[in-house]
Structure 1
Amino acid sequence: MNKSKKKESSLSESVRDSSATIAERIYETKEDMTYNESYKLERLYLHAIEIGDLELLNKLKPNLSEYNTGEIQAPDDIRKLKDSIIITITLATRDAISGGLDFEMAYKTSDYYIGVTEKLSDSAALNMLYLKIVFDFSQKVRKRKMLQTSNEICKKAIQYIYTNINQPISTSDVADHVGLSRTYFSKYFKDNLGFTVWNFILNCRLEESKHLLTNSDKSLVQISNYLCFSSQSHFQRAFKKQYGITPYKFRNGTN
Structure 2
Amino acid sequence: MKTILIVDDEPRTREGVRKVLESWSAGRCRITTASSAVEALEWLDENEANLVITDIRMPEINGLELVEKLRERQHPPVVIVISGHPQFDYAHKALQFGVIEYLLKPLDKAKLVEAVELAFRKEVEMNRIERMERLVDTKLLETTEQENQYSAPVKEAIQYLDEHLHEPITMKDIADHLHMNASYFSVLFKEQCGLTFSDYLTRRRVQRAKELLTNTRLSINEIAEKAGYQTAKYFVKVFRSHEGVSPGQYRKNVTHAEETIQ
| TM-score, normalization by structure 1 | 0.42
Which structure has more helix as a fraction of its residues? 1
Structure with higher Rg: it is: 2
Q: Give the structure-2-normalised TM-score.
A: 0.41
Higher-RCO chain (CA-CA 8 Å, sequence separation at least 6): 1
More strand by share: 2
